[in-house]
Amino acid sequence: MRLERSRRMAQHRIIAVTGPSGAGKSSITHGVTTLLPQLRFSVSITTRKPRALEQNGKDYHFVSDEEFRQLVSDGKLAEYEEVYPGTFYGTLHTELARASGEQPMLLDIDVKGALRLQASYPGESLTIFIQPPSVEALQARLRQRATESTESMRARLQRAEEEMHYVNVFNAVVVNNSLERAVAETADLIRSFLGTQ
């Protein structure tokens, strides 16, 4: 019985790319899925409003506060976090259930969510912290993003500075000095985790 369970669990392959907002996580996850097309991107649930080019069901499942609360009370989320005051993000159990050796799951997730997954799936998850070259570089990146209001930008900056302290608690760290190098390094880490190197 125990053996059966461990075999079943060993089939999960969950890769979480984490780090401060503005560190380049989403560019890196996009780059990595091009290099490693067998990875499936886990589409999160969020109460944030879609940005101009974002598609519902592809970038996120955009839901109302009420719908999010319902998903939480129905136990549908493997983890969730109020990443910014009043704005929630979460990972569906159904997304993680699909993660397997043939179809590893790639997540772009905040540090607290990544810590939770690391604790829930020890040995079946790889957590990679994307570190910006410096706090100043991170601030400059966040300010360049014209998508946020001043209020939202302030919240993101504050949160990002806090998140920088988590650098040493994950399985690996990639410094995002150059996007191309960071994508290549992240892909190498994933290949060796999946045993394909």
* Enclosing H/E stretch for 126: strand 125-131
Our CB check for ligand 5GP shows the closer of 56 and 197 to be 56
Q: Which amino acid is at 18?
A: T
Is the distance from CB of 129 to CB of 174 less than 8 angstroms?
yes
Side-chain-facing half-sphere of 155: CA atoms under 13 Å: 11
Q: By CB under 6 A, is residue 95 in contact with ligand 5GP?
A: no
Three-state DSSP class for residue 32 = helix
Q: By CB under 6 A, is residue 91 in contact with ligand 5GP?
A: yes
Out of 12, 63, 110, 185, name the contact with ligand 5GP by CB under 6 A. 110
Out of 32, 63, 109, 174, name the contact with ligand 5GP by CB under 6 A. 109
Q: Which residue number has the CB closest to ligand 5GP?
A: 113
Our CB check for ligand 5GP shows the closer of 10 and 140 to be 140
Q: Please measure the distance between the N-terminal and C-terminal CA atoms of the chain and give it in whole angstroms.
A: 32
Task: Single out the segment in contact with ligand 5GP by CB under 6 A; choices: 7-15, 76-84, 124-132, 175-183.
Answer: 76-84
Q: By CB under 6 A, is residue 141 in contact with ligand 5GP?
A: no
Our CB check for ligand 5GP shows the closer of 10 and 145 to be 145
- Cβ neighbours of residue 151 under 8 Å, at least 6 residues apart? none
